[in-house]
Amino acid sequence: MMKSVLMIATAAFAASGALAAAPASFAQCGVCHTVSKGAANGIGPNLYGVFGKKSGAVAGFNYSPALKAHKVIWDAKSLDKWLTAPASFIPGSRMPYAGQADAKKRAELVAYLKTLK
């Protein structure tokens, strides 16, 4: 009985996104970005809760004027465009990342970012 309860609780916890592991494609992102609630910004802003937020909205991070002015809401479509080619999507942004050409890897990244809440 206890084993069944534990399995159900673990499945519910995993479904909530709390146990979501970063995909391998996030390794490059993790060099600059933190992802835990309340964690300090790194070279890039903390990405916890980024999905659904306006660009340039993480407190305490020094965004480029271009990114602050863009005012995009980070959803699946805008994140996909950003991850494809940041400098093309928001010219003048300072993120030193050329982009991810692989659509599958971008989809994994977007899905992962969506769990960070």
Per-block average pLDDT, block size 10, for the chain (117 residues)?
33 40 94 96 97 95 94 96 97 94 98 96
**pLDDT given at position 28:** 94
**pLDDT given at position 116:** 96
10: in domain: no
101: in domain: yes
74: in domain: yes
Q: Determine the structural domain holding residue 34 and report its residue range.
A: 21-115
6: in domain: no
Is residue 73 classed as helix, strand or coil in its secondary structure? strand
**pLDDT given at position 60:** 95
pTM here is: 0.81
Q: Give the number of domains in the chain.
A: 1
35: in domain: yes
Pairwise CA distance, residues 106 & 80, whole Å = 6
In angstroms, the Cα distances linking 29 to 46, 58, 116 are: 11, 16, 14
CATH number for position 25: 1.10.760.10
Helices (H), 19-102: 27-30, 65-70, 76-84, 86-89
34: in domain: yes
Which residues are within 8 A (CB) of 42 and not within 5 positions of it... i.e. 6 or more apart?
32, 33, 34
